[in-house]
């Protein structure tokens, strides 16, 4: 158990809909990262928050947004969903903002299926 | 852009033999490299890392080698065990950069 909690574990929805994925980081971790893993693809970095502020942005679509709340949990919002958004979405946390000591602790992922 | 590449999607080895997983990167700013291991239905877990000031780091059966001039790193598992069967991700980050880039992963199968 990494200490990172993601909900829901599975989600099935239709194209055009909007969903919210939730992540609770490990106790004491200030950084939250979101990654997308599509079929046979690696982990694509989406976005990182550190202590409530956006710190880095990767290949995140404009239809996607995220935020980190004062209690440090984070939500990833996916809107106008398309079939290609079907993927496993991982949240990870770390103590600091990354860099040389950047070991990340991953949740079990949220599997999104768009029909 | 694939800044971290794992060109072998799968690898199969016999129990007791050496497993060698390879990773290449393109961004010369990367100075910290990690390997993560992922079992089905679980999130990736940290395995071993290496800083760019070193060319080798060893932890039990796992050794990571870094060749900066070639922008290449490898993970050696000796001896391989069936429990090592998993997907292995290579990752890299740069000092003062705040994201971590991952490769596509290599599925290792260790046969008894």
Cα A111 to Cα A37: distance, rounded to the nearest angstrom: 9
Band (A110; pLDDT cuts 50, 70, 90): very high
Cα A103 to Cα B96: distance, rounded to the nearest angstrom: 14
Cα A95 to Cα B23: distance, rounded to the nearest angstrom: 26
Q: Does A68 touch chain B (CB under 8 A)?
A: no
Give the phi and the psi of residue A84 in degrees, each rounded to 5: -70, -10
Please give the structure tokens belonging to residue B57: 């780091």
Q: Which residues of B touch A (CB under 8 A)?
A: 2, 4, 6, 9, 31-32, 34, 36, 41-46, 49, 51, 89, 91, 93-105
Taken in order A89, B91, B111, B16, the sign of the CA dihedral is negative
Residue range A40-53, pLDDT digits in tens: 677 888 999 989 99
pLDDT at B87 over 80: yes
How does DSSP assign B42-76, residue by residue? S--EEEEEEETT-SEEEETTEEEEEETTTTEEEEE
Place of tokens 């496993």: A88
- Region B84-101: mean pLDDT is 84
Band (B1; pLDDT cuts 50, 70, 90): low
Instruction: Write out chain B residues lying below 8 Å of A35, CB-based.
Output: 102
Please give the structure tokens belonging to residue B79: 């001896």
Provide the pLDDT for residue A102: 62
Provide the pLDDT for residue A23: 98
User: C-alpha distances in angstroms, A80 versus A9, A113, B53?
Assistant: 20, 13, 45
Residue range B15-69, pLDDT digits in tens: 999 999 999 999 998 989 999 999 988 899 999 999 999 999 999 999 999 999 9
CA dihedral A20, A80, B1, B19 (to 10 degrees): 50
């Amino acid at each position: 158990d990494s200490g990172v909690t993601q909900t829901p574990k599975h989600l099935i929805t239709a194209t055009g809909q909007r969903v919210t994925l939730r992540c609770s980081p490990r106790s004491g971790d200030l950084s939250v990262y979101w990654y997308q893993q599509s079929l046979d693809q690696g982990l694509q970095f989406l976005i990182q928050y550190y202590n409530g502020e956006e710190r880095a942005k990767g290949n995140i679509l404009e239809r996607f947004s995220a935020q980190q709340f004062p209690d440090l949990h984070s939500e990833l919002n996916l809107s106008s969903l398309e079939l290609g958004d079907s993927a496993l979405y991982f949240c990870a946390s770390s103590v600091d903002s990354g860099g040389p000591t950047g070991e990340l602790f991953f949740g079990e992922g949220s599997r999104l299926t768009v029909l | 852009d694939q800044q971290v590449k794992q060109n072998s999607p799968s690898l199969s080895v016999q129990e007791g033999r050496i497993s060698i997983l390879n990773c290449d990167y393109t961004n010369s700013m990367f100075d910290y490299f990690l390997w993560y291991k992922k079992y089905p239905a679980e999130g990736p877990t940290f395995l071993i890392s290496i800083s760019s000031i070193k060319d080798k780091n060893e932890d039990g059966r796992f050794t990571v080698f870094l060749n900066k001039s070639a922008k290449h790193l490898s993970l050696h598992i000796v001896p391989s065990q069936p429990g090592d069967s998993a997907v292995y991700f290579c990752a890299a980050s740069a000092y003062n950069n705040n994201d971590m880039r991952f490769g596509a992963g290599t599925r290792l199968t260790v046969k008894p």
